């Protein structure tokens, strides 16, 4: 069966520090991968999605970047965090070949102080 | 501009009654719709989906209705249970699920 791992679960980082959140998927090949953010009191905002290695689409211009160095690995990064980067970050995957649901990781609560 | 809207930020329902959560969308290219349930500090979990070729899909206590002409879908939960209390997100996709767009969510409270 397929599983998705996302870490860390919580993170407190100072303003201006770098960020690296990692997500890996097991049990499937060539998944579509996504990074979402849920800001306090708001819905899920799609940040990046990827249909293959090194194929990243950015939905919202921001202080963040994403990379997919391997088929089942998706990394969310920032060189210098801003206070506004605080939020709940979610990684997700889907099969993509047909209409299917996306499966989410447990999320990372990021607090920038 | 929000492509997927959930105009009710919150909803309270008595246990045993029906919960109806609504969702509207603007993009006519959407062809697949999903509902997710989310507890605090957890990732959303998939509940039920519907393709644009159908107008109803049922799974146990959960039924999703799609009205394509009105660009509207709804999730019915019957009977509602206290464990259903969570935030419910409506999502839509086009192009065979390569991109999922979520609504802002509706917080459902089921009162015992």
> Does B99 contact A at CB distance below 8 Å?
yes
| pLDDT at A58 > cutoff 90 | no
> Residue A102: which pLDDT band, with cuts at 50, 70 and 90?
confident
Task: Please state whether B3 falls in left (phi above 0), alpha (psi between -120 and 50) or beta.
Answer: alpha
What's chain B's average pLDDT?
92
Name the least confident of A10-19, A21-30, A54-63, B63-72.
A54-63
**Binary contact (A42, B100; C-beta < 8 A):** no
Question: Which residues have a Cβ under 8 Å from the Cβ of B56 and sit 6 or more positions away?
Answer: B50, B63, B64, B65, B66
For residue A49, list chain B residues with Cβ-Cβ distance below 8 A. Answer: 98-99
> Does B97 contact A at CB distance below 8 Å?
yes
């Amino acid at each position: 069966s397929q599983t998705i791992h996302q870490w860390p679960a919580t993170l407190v980082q100072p303003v201006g520090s770098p960020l690296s959140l990692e997500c890996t998927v097991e049990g499937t090949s060539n998944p579509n991968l996504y990074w979402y953010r849920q800001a306090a009191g708001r819905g899920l905002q799609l940040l990046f999605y990827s249909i293959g290695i090194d194929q990243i689409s950015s939905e919202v211009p921001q202080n963040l970047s994403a990379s997919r160095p391997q088929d089942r690995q998706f990394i969310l990064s920032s060189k210098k965090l801003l206070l506004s980067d605080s939020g709940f970050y979610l990684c997700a995957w889907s099969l993509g070949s047909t209409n299917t649901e996306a499966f989410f990781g447990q999320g990372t609560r990021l607090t920038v102080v | 501009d929000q492509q997927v809207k959930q105009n009710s930020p919150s909803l309270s329902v008595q246990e045993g009654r029906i919960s109806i959560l609504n969702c509207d969308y603007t993009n006519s290219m959407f062809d697949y719709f999903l509902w997710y349930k989310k507890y605090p500090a957890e990732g959303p979990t998939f509940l039920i989906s519907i393709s644009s070729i159908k107008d109803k899909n049922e799974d146990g206590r959960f039924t999703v209705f799609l009205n394509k002409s009105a660009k509207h879908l709804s999730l019915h939960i019957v009977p509602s249970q206290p464990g259903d209390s969570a935030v419910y997100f409506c999502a839509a996709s086009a192009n065979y699920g390569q991109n999922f767009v979520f609504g802002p969510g509706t917080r459902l409270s089921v009162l015992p």
